[in-house]
Amino acid sequence: MSGTGQGAFIAAVKPLVDAMGGEMVPPDEAGPDDVVLSWEGAAAVAVRLPQLADSLDHILAALERRRGVPLAELDRKAKQEIVRSLEARGAFAVRHGVETVASALGVSRFTVYNYLNREKGA
């Protein structure tokens, strides 16, 4: 990774890759499913995207860190907001998404479905 420009570019995209739960690897180690990012005409870094299920776990952990308490300790309104936010991000299209979210929130799958249906009916 030569040059300060390329290093600065890699430093700039790192927070995004971290937020997605991805991994940065050297471009020459990129696999067929990795995304190679170029800077000033040269491959700078490859991004290995997470599996969707891993990404959901990463998102839930980030939400917990941001709120500073286990998600299961939040009140009902906060849990409903999280479910809305996760639905907007496609979390429930992931296999076992409802179960994963229910477990993180300390509620039943039925409760998560109620939160989802409440939004559609409102």
Which amino acid is present at 65? R
Rounded CA-CA distance 109/122 in Å is 20
pTM of the predicted model as reported, rounded to 2 decimal places: 0.62
Tokens in use for 76?
Answer: 């009902």
**What pLDDT sits at residue 80?**
95
Q: Give the helix ranges, DSSP H, for 21-96.
A: 52-67, 76-88
16-73 pLDDT per residue, tens: 888 777 899 999 999 998 999 999 999 999 999 877 667 788 889 889 999 999 999 9
The answer to whether 44 and 10 are in contact (CB under 8 A) is yes
Residue 120 has pLDDT above 70, yes or no: no
